[in-house]
Structure 1
Amino acid sequence: MENTFNQFDLNKQLLNAVEDLGYTSPSPIQEKAIPVISHGHDVLGIAQTGTGKTAAFLLPVLMKIKYAQGDHIRCLILAPTRELAIQIDTAVTELAKYTDLRHKAIYGGTGTKSQIEALQSGLDILVATPGRFMDLYLKGEIVTKAIQYMIMDEADKMMDMGFMPQIRKILEVIPRKRKNLLFSATFPEKVERLSEEFLEAPVRIEVTPQATTAETVEQALYETPNFRTKINLLEFLLSKDEITRGIVFCRTKAVADNVFKFLERKGMKEDEVRVIHANKGQNTRINSMNAFREGAVRILVSTDVAARGIDIQEVSHVINFDVPVIYEDYVHRIGRTGRANLEGQAITFMTPAEEYHIAKIEKIIRSEIPRKPIPTEVNVPETPFEEQQGILREIDNQRKREDPNFKGAFHEKKAKNRPKDQRTSKHKARGKKRRR
């Protein structure tokens, strides 16, 4: 017998909303988490991105709080980024459409006027980034005494972004008697420590081994000697018709801007490519994301600000222009494709200096990323001297991290490459000093 949402103790309003969204059968995380949350247990949920965990925690909570009541929030949902906060709030809108529940997302990077007005008019559910929550709480705009549910989404990203001090302050000002739900795609040691101080005898729900990649995502790795080869390879791949909607992930804002400008120079217009990162204004980022979601833009160049929680269907390709140095982010990045059982491709470019990080990522995901040769049509220029020196320095630093006694091959190589008369004169100078 096929599982449906009718098996859960959900009211007609929620079942109608689920039907409107086209959900027919619950995902594994929904099937396991909804009954446990409905029975009042704290939950530690570990599920890879794109598995439907937002609905897994929203449906039972919406069922419990049911209808608008009082002036103060009864459910607080914390998210690490404004994009994820907006995404969760959109999911509340869709699932609570046949109820009168009031909700709002608050986040930094924009004015507080409308956020304060919503709080003052009364809310049942508040979705917030930790920083903006504390800002408005300290101004006296948020009353916490009625909170019954505290939900933390993407907990691992919260830790990576340094939100722990704000989270601890929030935990101090909300009622002790509450239900707690913590969701994360990975479960590193720091998240485990947080769960121990945040959750009361939680039920652990892990629908896939932590840090696994979706089976619907085909992965590939290209070994690229330098930045220019990456650019040439990106241009070649984007010229192919099969990339119908793609995200290009870059490690820094500067690289993202450079890649975007390169694609513009190659003739891609604003209706084909956009760039988003932390220096872009909030409205610009939201507009670019919406244009990409609606299919008005084919390529989105982004830093990891968009790697998590952005539920955009039918992303055909993810291209890691740079290898992420927060290794769990590899899982989150490639999780942008292959969603909702659709197939997708994740392509990664790796320089010699990034090979170290790939080895760490492969250890986390417990599989080797298949290597592919660079197509013969792609020009592979020689690596400029300065870039080559930077690569060698980085490899040296990596070896030193692994072995503190390692002296440094880069410096030895420099000494070997120094003209003989220079080395001789330095040795002579040292000899004179000793004789003195």
Structure 2
Amino acid sequence: MKTFDALGVSPDLTATLRERGIEQPFPIQELTIPDALAGRDVCGKAKTGSGKTLAFGLPILERVTRSEPGRPRALVLVPTRELAGQVRDELAPLAARRELRVEAIYGGARMEQQARALTGRVDVVVATPGRMIDFIGRKQVRLDDVAHVVIDEADRMADMGFLPQVEWILRHIPGDHQTLLFSATLDGVVDTLIQRYQRAPAMHEVASAQVTVEEMEHRFLLVHELDKVKVAAAIAAGATRTIMFVNTKRAADRLARSLSAEGVRARAIHGDLRQRERERALGDFADGKLPVLVATDVAARGIHVDEVDVVVHYDPPEEHKTYLHRSGRTARAGESGVVVTLVLWNQELEVKRLMRRLGIEQPIVEVFSNDPRLADPASWDPAADAAVV
């Protein structure tokens, strides 16, 4: 494996990396950094957690020049405010080495404070698309001097319906500029983005294991509506970290309160919460201080936590892709995980259709909240050890 120095990264930046304990580049960094440093457009296919931030961040910080107030030189577009904060925090120590400023701009935070930052000198802006458009429309930021553009997690942008906003921004960047795009998938609308906004990009791919149905233990439990919260609480009581998925923001708040009433420490995470509240909940969950996180699908895009013991589909998902996205939270970093779906009587046919799409053949098992098997759902075989509906 090459070193960062061998890839062309300057000594001052490699020294800063070493101070943070970063010695060797990840595969996506080794593949993409030389082309990005050479000024080429780059298209990188890699999963979340593969080191993409430094793959685009190091070349940008090597090549970016100091900006004028309100006229950034580099723009990084990301799908969620959590990711905006993570990218800023990772790049800021490196930028400071060169007296460059990085700011994160996202919805859910006070616009006045962000506007003051933008109208000052900001060399690299990390932004969610909607909030960036707000500031462009208010003429509080101009894109005329942007020389480097990054589209990070383009597939998630597509899933969340943000690509029209991304394209609007890209169309409003005049002149020649370098475009770096990173995504877990490069087909469909993401490929359209590549064709429209990149020029002969260097294509690089890091093969990574897909989370599959076979990597997880699945349990489908028929529950009664008045007992459903108690079943969820019993599952959480037997685990260190549990993520429970619901379909709406209101349901997330309601479930978190109900679990707390059952003696289970839980907090909701969704788009209506203030950024500080979301960050505190995520931090406490990652640190093991908060055992249960109740999340909507969109909010869960910002959750990158290993060692999640159980994922509970408190509200069953409608699509098998959503089931896999949610369930993959417990099959990270090479670990297998347990996925539990709670099923009410009127959801049974819909869930059985979902199971067929996923290729899962097992019974839906009726349980009550006093069932000792809930403490360790992976320890028993639904086919052999349960009363089948």
* TM band (smaller chain): 0.7 to 0.9
Shift, 1:326, TM fit = 5.9
- Residue identity in the other structure for 2:211: T
What is the CA distance between 1:157 and its match in structure 2? 2.4
Map 1:307-322 onto structure 2 (within 5 A).
Answer: 307-312=300-305, 314-322=307-315
Q: Which has the larger displacement, 322-331 or 76-85? A: 322-331
Q: How much does 1:301 deviate?
A: 1.1
In structure 2, C-alpha distance between the alignment counterparts of 1:73 and 1:257, rounded to whole Å = 38
1:151 offset after TM fit, Å?
0.8
Cα distance, 1:259–1:278 mapped onto 2, change above 3 Å: same
SS at match of 2:97: coil
Return the alpha-carbon distance in structure 1 between the equivalents of residues 93 and 321 of structure 2: 29
Which whole-Å CA distance do the structure 2 matches of 1:20 and 1:372 have between them?
A: 53
Give the TM-score taking structure 1 as reference length.
0.73
Distance 2:324 2:72 in 1: 33
CA contact (8 A) 1:317 1:344 kept: no
C-alpha distance in 1, partners of 2:327/2:5? 32
Per the TM alignment, residue 146 of structure 1 is displaced from its structure 2 partner at its CA by 1.2
Aligned to 2:46: 47
> Residue 238 of structure 1: which of 236, 239, 244 is its match?
236
Unaligned 5+ residue runs, structure 2? Answer: 372-389
Matching residue within 258, 262, 265 for 1:266: 262
* Residue pairs, 1:127-146, within 5 angstroms: 127-146=126-145
Q: Which runs of 5+ in 1 are unaligned?
A: 363-367, 381-436
1:348 Cα deviation from its structure 2 partner: 4.0
Is 1:304 matched with 2:297?
yes
- C-alpha contact (below 8 Å) 2:74/2:147 kept by paired residues: yes
Q: Is the 1:322–1:350 contact (alpha carbons within 8 Å) kept by the matching residues of 2?
A: yes
Question: In structure 1, what is the equivalent of residue 339 of structure 2?
Answer: 347
**What amino acid is aligned across from residue 6 of structure 1 in structure 2?**
D
Whether the 8 Å CA contact 1:307–1:329 is kept in 2: the answer is no
Equivalent-residue separation in structure 2 for 1:36 and 1:267 (angstroms): 54
SS of equivalent residue, structure 1 residue 96: helix
Distance of 2:98 and 2:309 partners within structure 1 = 35
* 2:219 paired residue number: 222
1:145 Cα offset (Å)? 1.4
1:254 aligns with 2:253: no
What is the CA distance between 1:98 and its match in structure 2?
2.6
Q: Deviations over 1:238-293 (max 9, x none)?
A: 122xx33332222222332332122112112xxx3211112223332233223334
| Distance in 1 (alpha carbons) for counterparts of 2:2 and 2:309 | 29
Q: Percent identity?
A: 35
CA contact (8 A) 2:220 2:365 kept: yes
Query: Do structure 1's residue 286 and structure 2's residue 283 form an aligned pair?
Result: no
- Number of equivalenced pairs: 364
- Could you say which residue in structure 2 is the equivalent of 1:417? none
Q: Which residues of 2 match residues 10-25 of structure 1 at below 5 A?
A: 10-25=9-24
Retained in 2: the 8 A contact 1:49–1:308? no
Asked if 1:212 is matched to 2:198, the reply is no
Per-residue CA distance 1:215-238 (angstroms, 9 max, x = gap): 9x9422112235647645432331
Q: Residue 198 of structure 1 aligns with which residue?
A: 197
Alignment check: 8 A CA contact 1:79 1:128 kept: yes
Q: CA 1:219/1:200 → structure 2, altered by over 3 Å: closer, same or farther? A: same
**CA deviation map 1:48-93 (0-9, x unaligned):** 222221222112222222x644432111011122222122111222
In the alignment, the residues of structure 2 paired with residue 3 and residue 227 of structure 1 have an alpha-carbon distance, to the nearest angstrom, of: 57
**Residue deviations 1:134-180, cap 9 Å, x none?**
11112111121111111111222222333233223212221241111
User: Would the alpha carbon gap of residues 163 and 179 (structure 1) be closer, same or farther in structure 2, given more than 3 Å must change?
Assistant: same
Q: Give 1:336 deviation, angstroms.
A: 4.2
- Separation in 2, partners of 1:59, 1:331: 32
Contact 2:46 2:205 in 1 (8 A): yes
* CA distance, structure 1, for counterparts of residue 181 and residue 203 of structure 2: 10
After superposition, the Cα gap between the structure-2 partners of 1:334 and 1:73, relative to the gap in structure 1 and judged at 3 Å, is: farther
Q: Matches of 2:368 and 2:335 in 1, distance apart?
A: 26
- Normalising by structure 2, report the TM-score: 0.81
CA gap of 1:350–1:234, structure 2 versus 1, over 3 A, is closer
Which position in structure 1 is the counterpart of 2:55? 56
Whether the 8 Å CA contact 1:17–1:96 is kept in 2: the answer is no
Q: Distance in 2 between matches of 1:14 and 1:227?
A: 58
2:116 aligned residue? 117
Alpha-carbon distance between aligned partners in 1 of 2:305 and 2:260, rounded to the nearest angstrom: 24
8 Å CA contact 2:102, 2:125 repeated in 1: yes
How far the C-alpha of 1:34 sits from its partner, in A, is 1.8
Provide the C-alpha distance between the structure 2 equivalents of 1:332 and 1:312, rounded to a whole number of angstroms: 14
Q: Which residue of 2 aligns with 1:276?
A: 269
**Cα offset, 1:21, TM superposition:** 3.0
Matches of 1:6 and 1:374 in 2, distance apart? 57
Once superposed, what is the RMSD of the aligned Cα atoms?
Answer: 3.1
Amino acid at match of 1:177: D
For 1:29 and 1:320, the matched residues in 2 are separated by: 33
Moved more, 344-353 or 186-195: 344-353
